[in-house]
Amino acid sequence: MQTLLKGWNVMRVLRLAIGIMAIIQAYQQGSWALAIAGFFVVILAIANLGCCGAAGCNVKSSRREDNSKNEIVYEELGK
Mean pLDDT of 63-79: 69
Residue 69 pLDDT greater than 90, yes or no:
no
With 0-12 CB in 10 A as exposed, 13-18 as middle and 19+ as buried, what is 32?
Answer: exposed
Residue 62 pLDDT greater than 90, yes or no:
no
Residue boundaries of the structural domains of the chain: 9-49
Say whether pTM exceeds 0.75: no
Residue 27 pLDDT greater than 80, yes or no:
yes
**pLDDT for residue 65:** 55
Query: Do 57 and 51 form a contact (C-beta atoms < 8 A)?
Result: yes
Mean pLDDT of 9-19: 91
Quote the percentage of the chain above a pLDDT of 90: 38
| Short-list 4, 34, 45, 38, CA closest to 20 | 38
